[in-house]
Each structure stands twice: as structure tokens, then as C-alpha cells.
Amino acid sequence: FSREELDEIIRHAVENAAKAKELSSGTQEKFIALDVGPTGKLLKPLGDLDFDKAVEIFSETIKIGAKYGVDLITIETMNDSYETKAAVLAAKESCDLPILVTNAYGENGRLMTGADPAVMVAMLEGMGVDAIGANCSLGPKQLSGVMDELLKYSSVPVVFKPNAGLPKSENGVTFYDVSADEFAEDIKKSVENGVRIVGGCCGTTPEYIKKVHELTGDLKPKPIEKKNYSVVTSYNKAVFFGKKPVLIGERINPTGKKRFKQALAEKDIGYILQEAVNQQAKGVHVLDVNVGLPGIDEKAMLTDSVCELQCVTDLPLQLDSSDPGAMESALRRYNGKAMVNSVNGKEESMRAVFPLVKKYGGFTVALTLDESGIPSTVEGRMEIAKKILATAAEYGIDKKDIIFDPLAMTVSADKMSAVTTLETVKRITEELGCNTSLGVSNVSFGLPSRELVNASFFTVAMENGLSAAIMNPYSERMLEAYYSFNVIKGLDDNCMDFINFTANRETVTTAKPETDLTLKSAIEKGLKEKAAEITAAMLSDNAPLDIVNLHVIPALDEVGKGFETKKLFLPQLLMSAEAAKAAFEVIKSHMATDGESVKKGSVVIATVYGDIHDIGKNIVKLLLENYGYNVIDLGKNVPPEDVLEAVVREHAPLAGLSALMTTTVPAMEATVKLLNEKAPWCKTVVGGAVLTQEYADKIGADKYSADAMETVRYAEEVIG
């Protein structure tokens, strides 16, 4: 739409809603909500829509709705945490209205891009939304597990708007398989469990809502309980603080690291990414990211590093910067709820950092120092901690989102410094009920055999209640202390972490050299630049097709299996595909000079007529191309005749059709029927959120694919 058309549509919509509100016979208070749905595009790096452009798109709509007097903003059917964040930011920056957010969870209890309810609650509560929930995708029974998780973690009202089950087809008529009575009974149970706002999505009608009202209207809502989870997240992983100590990898930091400083100066992101991959392999739970170095643009470097790191690791990140501008830029782009390192007791620091945490969410590291420096006594550090908590509360930031660093000082300069720090850890834990973190290695500065001191200090700190440690994951002494402590304290079920650690430990205490990275592992880890670099080197000694068949395809297969078994999620699948694409581009360029080709066969794909959603189709395209197929992408809203024309022209053995909207499923049926009649050699594979195996069988499709990898497997079966 043009800006003028959008304005007119929203104005008329609000006017219609206001008229309906006026004519309604109900005596209850009524509100008008501006409904904001997804853009239909994947955000970078998984797609081509820039994050800030997405914020701009949502903002335009929300500002118009606010102008015409809506009472609240409801952001719904979001299946990507990053796009959800963009919409919430747009709402916060465009108006001061209440914000309700409901996401579309799949059968595995996660969003399309991997987030589970714990991840979404942490991010959305951190950003200050007013209600959190689920809508669309499935029926109320299938989403009951998701609702249990939302109720477990959320301290704000929970919303539930499921579909009327799943779509089915009888005699050309599409219907949903959950009746109004059954739907209402299921919704009643959810209200009894604590859900506060209910409704219906696809397949529901006024009859469904009436039945729900009849069964729930007299129920007394359960009180909303404040939860006290201290948590950070990536786009798909939540790390909780307060029980088992958390390891924060310290190696993405230039302090004392000549090679890392060189990488920053040369903007060698690849080195930083490799360091992240190495630390994750050593078992850390969070990665500290510090790129502060004189002479570089820290704001740009930190933001770029965060975005690139989230392409290759699913670990939460600790954003480590004393520059508020750099911190805000990185927090804005971060997909999840980050650790913020750090704030301190100085008034200037608190007034700079806490507004950022309030806006973007975060779990803030608070240093027990102020304008007078670092107190030498436990009492002095406790007073600063109390002052920080009081100031945080002024911004609406709860103590569960503060983790104190009581500051480990070197014992070689003051023999009692470690005692002071350890006692402060204990008192903050017991008296303030807060989490604590330490940069452990500081304690041994200036001493020989530092790892001996570090490991002992770490063990005593954990016994005193330490929640997390910023540490060197390549130190065997530190890891020995950590895994042994967890066993002794009953924090390691069946001692499995300890057993795995001792079974897999290496005899060296340094990271695996970059030169040992293989093409297969580079693709599996999503390292695009490394994949291209290794491929170029391999071409001097290997035939191009051998590289494809013996290295690229096996890597994609390995990641694909992880995706199919739900061990990996869409972002990891797509970033591996991008790394494979980088390798393919090098191979294709090399083969072009010899007139060779790596194409296996042609596949025509399209989103069916009337449907403008193409995320799923685009994912299928990327994967098929990386497996060597020639993909003819007809785009979205494609008439059946255009699909047939392309299939006949290419004599394609396979056509893939996608539909997201129930109203466009008949167009898919018409397309399949036309292909079966006019191009009988062509197999059809169909997919989309509204489809099922039963429906695919009804319309005569040859294959129903629940996800993109299943389409690839079918292409291998049909074409080879």
C-alpha cells in the first residue's frame, strides 16, 4: 500500500470497530486493538529484510492506528523472535499504548526460528510488554504444553487464541476438526489454569466465541504470580542463573591477546566467529563479547560482531562495553535477551545504562564500585549494591535482572582481597537474594602457576554462592574445578556432565587451530568466509564434483538430520546453507571456465494464487539450490496456468507448491489437478502451515512435506 492507502484502510477499520463497539449489546467495557501481523519476510541474516527496516514498516502502521484512537496494540501470529522484537520496538517507539504479543508455536513447542516459550517470555517481559501468549498454528489441545510453559515463566497476563484444530477437506469444502463445544471446553481448562485473555484464530466463528463466553464468563481469574527467574537468551536458548553455576567464555576480548587485537584492527570477523565456535565446543553457556580497542569504531564493530556471532552460535551473549552508544546499537540488534556488561554505582553509569535495559531488556552485570572507587570492605561493596538496586527499581528493573560482580582483586597486592570478595559474594546471595558473577582470573595476576590459584578461588566462590564466572574455557584446571564441584553439590544428574567431560578432555589447553577446520565443519558451523576459503584451497588438488559430493553434500546432510530430529533449528539450517552456498559459488566460478555444471535437475516452485506469503518457499529454494538443483522460482500469488507453463517449458520432474492461508488452499488443489492432467510426468510436493498429510492426499498431491528438508529428501528420491 501507499502511505495514503494504508492511512485510509486503518481509518476506516477503526471507524468500523468503533461503530461495532457502539452497537454492541454487551455491557462490559470494550476496547479497540490495532492488529499487527508478520511482514511475510525473514529478517537478515536468514532473509533479506533489514531489522531497522522492519521496525520502520511496523512503526508506520502503528503510528496511524494510534492517531485514529485505538486502545492497544496486539502483535500476533509471529513465528520469529527477531521479527517479534522489531514489532515490539516499533510499538514502544511509536506510541505509549498497551502491547499484547502472541506467537505462533509449532507442534514441537517452538517458533519456526527455534524460540520456545521460556525464550519468548524472557525477551518480551524484558522489553516491557503487557501480555504474552500464543495464537494460530494448532488447536487448543496441541498447544496445551506451550500454554503450561508460558504460565510457568510469565509474570504478566497470558493470552490464548488457538485455531479450531486443523483443516480438513470433504467434497471440496475445507473445514476445521474441532467443534465449537470442544473448543470452548478446552479454553475453559486453560482459563482455570491461569490464562487471562482468550479468543480464537483460524477456523473459529462467532459461535465459537459465544460458547467460550458461556463457559468462562463466570470463572474467577487466577491471580497473576510474579516469577523470579534470572535468565538470558539467544534466539532459541535460555540460560537460567541461580542454581547451577554458569560459565561465561572470556576469549572474545582484546585484553592481553595480541592476535585478537590484530583481528579487530583488520576487521577479521572470521577470527572472532572461530573463537566463539571453539569456546562453545568447550562447554561454556554464555559468550562475553568485548571489541573495545583504541582506533576502531566500537559501535559498528560490536554491532557487526553480535549479528555475525548469532549466525554461528546459539549461545546467549554478554555485551561488554563501557560505551553507551555501542551498547545501545548492539542491544537493539541482538536477537534475544542479552547480558549487559556493565553498570556500576556511579550516577552517570546508572543513568546511561538503565534506560537502555528498560527499553531493550537485559540481564545487567553491576560492578560494586562508585565515584569513590572500589571499597576495600564488604560493607562498602554491599552499600553500593543496595544503591544500584534502588536506582534500578526507579526504572522498573527488578533485582532478578541484576547480577552483581563484587570484583576479584589480585591477592599478590593485597592478601585479604580474595577474602573480601568471597564474603561479598556470600552476603549478596544471602541478604539481597541476587546473583553474582566474577572475572575469576583477576585474583592471580602477578603470580606463577596462576591456574592453581584461579581454580581454588573459583571453587570457594561457588561454595559461597557464585552464580557465574567469566573464565578461560581452555583452562583444564578451571573445568576440572567446575565439573567436580557440580558432582559434589548434587548439581549433575547421574554425574553425566562430569563423565562426558573426563571422556572428551583434551591433553592440550589451547583452542583448536583454525588451520584444522575442514570444509565439512565450516559448513556445519555456518562459517561462510571459511567455507569459501577452504573450498578455493581444495580446488588445487580435488575435482570440483568430488568436493561437492564428498564434502558439501555430506555437511548439508548432517545439518539436515539435526534439523529433522529437532536438535538443530531453522537459523542453524539456513546459516549452514549459506556457508554451503559460499562454497558452491567458488566451485561454480571454477567450473565455468571449463564449461562444466553442478546442476542435477529442475524444480519449479511457487506460492499458489491468492497467497502472498513466501517465507517457506524461499527456504525450500535455498536448500534445493545448495543440493545442486536448478530451481525455477515463480514467486508468490502464482496462477495455476503459470505453474503449468513453467513445468512444461522446463520439462521439470518436480513442482513444489506452498500455501499459508486457508482461503488459498483451493488454488493449490486447482494447480495440482492441472499438473496431473497436463504434465503427468511431474511430481507435486506441497507444504505450508495450513496443510496436512490428509489434505495433501485429498487434493491429489504426490507428497506432503512438513518442512524444507523433507522437500529436499523428496527431490533426491524423484530426481536423484
The CATH code of the domain at 602-718 is 3.40.50.280
**Grid cell for residue 544:** 570440483
Q: Is the peptide bond before 342 cis (omega within 30 degrees of 0)?
A: yes
The count of other CB atoms within 10 Å of the CB of residue 158 is 25
Exposed (0-12), middle (13-18) or buried (19+): which is 670, by Cβ within 10 Å?
Answer: middle
| Percent of the chain residues topping a pLDDT of 70 | 97
Residue 240's DSSP bridge partners are 231
290-314 as b/e, with b when 16 or more CB fall inside 10 Å? bbbeeebebbebbbbbbbbbbbbbb
pTM value is 0.89
* pLDDT score for 508: 41
Note the helical H segments in 157-228.
180-193, 206-216
* pLDDT score for 594: 63
Distances (CA, A) of 561 to 76, 314, 558, 570, 572: 31, 18, 5, 12, 12
Q: How far apart are CA 357 and CA 336, in angstroms?
A: 13
Q: H/E/C letters for each residue in 209-250?
A: HHHHHHHHCCCCCCCCCCCCCEEEECCCCEEEECCCCEEEEE
* pLDDT score for 593: 67
Sole residue written with cell 499484547 = 100
Exposed (0-12), middle (13-18) or buried (19+): which is 206, by Cβ within 10 Å?
Answer: exposed
Can you give the residue ranges of every domain in the chain? 3-216, 245-336, 516-592, 602-718
* pLDDT score for 704: 94
* pLDDT score for 136: 92
Q: How far apart are CA 103 and CA 149, in angstroms?
A: 13
**Grid cell for residue 401:** 535482572
**Grid cell for residue 77:** 501470529
Q: Which regions of the chain are under pLDDT 50?
A: 507-515
Q: How far apart are CA 97 and CA 105, in angstroms?
A: 25
- At residue 169, the 3 state secondary structure works out as strand
Residue 313 · residue 281 · CB < 8 Å: no
Sole residue written with cell 582483586 = 409
Per-residue pLDDT tens digits for 520-537: 999 999 999 999 999 999
* pLDDT score for 480: 96
The CATH code of the domain at 3-216 is 3.20.20.330
Residue 613 · residue 661 · CB < 8 Å: yes
* pLDDT score for 596: 61
* CATH H-level superfamily of 516-592: Methionine synthase domain (1.10.1240.10)
* pLDDT score for 689: 74
* pLDDT score for 611: 82
Distances (CA, A) of 649 to 255, 599, 632: 61, 17, 11
